[in-house]
A and B are shown apart, each in its own frame.
Chain A
Amino acid sequence: MTKIYELMPDIQGEEMMFLQNLTKDYDDEKLRNFSNMYRARRKDPQLILLLCLLGFVGFAGVHRFILNQIGMGILYFFTAGLCLIGTIVDLVNYRNLSFTYNRQVASEINHIIARS
């Protein structure tokens, strides 16, 4: 019986625990489908961090668009990351932002696979 940490060894910490809880009843084929789909749709925290750093050059809020928060993205873009405060908040908080997004993605994929 394959485990999720054998298929996706690059995921760490709380995210891995969440995925283990979510996929504990899966058989091998479902688990393989899940890990393929999740790998394709997941947002890497490092990507979010780097896009967030663009805020110091003048292109703030790209990471918010990537994370599907269009309103926050527009607000950040037209106010230079809420006058740099928002950019610094997101630098501290980038792991939480990406994990929240990835949780939604994982639950969606879980719905798709559990129905099939």
Chain B
Amino acid sequence: MKDFKDYLEMFLNNINFASLNSEIMKRLRPKELWDFLKKNLEGFIWLSALLLLALMSPALDTPSLCVFRWLGIESCPGCGLGHSVSAVFHGQIKASFNYHPLGIFAIFILSIRSILVFKAYFLYQKQKSQYYDQNL
């Protein structure tokens, strides 16, 4: 019966250290991952917000996360937007319009915007690598 330690040892013995030097591993260094995250912060935030809202239940039974409501301000033009987006993901279009009329518009605009953020980043990386190829 092999335990976890044996598996770890087998794994460490079988790592091909030549592959660590390959082009893919060079691109996956922590600094570049952090750079990727930082430059595309907006896209990641919008996509994760949409994902969380899709997993949320659209009914008004959970405690409020609204910053304005914590401060004691009761009415705000964006009130109900989260519930509206969540209702669209659960197929309740009519309920979505009752929470906030801009729910579908928000999903549309936010997903397009995050795609554009990633597109601009990769275009810029391509330009940079072309320049370095010419000069090195």
Contacts and interface: CB of A to CB of B under 8 A. Distances in A.
B106 A75 contact: yes
Nearest to B113: A72
A78 interface: yes
Contacts of A92: 41
A103 interface: yes
Nearest to A101: B120
A94 to B, nearest CB: 11
Contacts of B124: 103
B109 A83 contact: no
Nearest to B128: A21
Interface string B87-111: 0000000000000101001100110
Interface string A73-85: 0110011111111
B55 interface: no
Contacts of B110: 75
Contact of B68 (A21, A71, A72, A83): A83
Nearest to A73: B109
B33 interface: no
A33 interface: no
Interface size class, chain B: 20 to 34
B78 A89 contact: no
Given A21-B131, A75-B102, A89-B45, A80 B78 contact: yes
A93 interface: yes
A83 B117 CA distance: 21
B41 A84 contact: no
Contacts of B78: 78-83
Contacts of B112: 71
Most B-side CB within 10 Å, residue of A21, A74, A97: A21
B76 A83 contact: yes
B8 interface: no
A107 to B, nearest CB: 9
Interface of B: 39, 41-42, 45, 49, 66-68, 76-79, 81-82, 100, 102, 105-106, 109-110, 112-113, 117, 120, 124, 127-128, 131
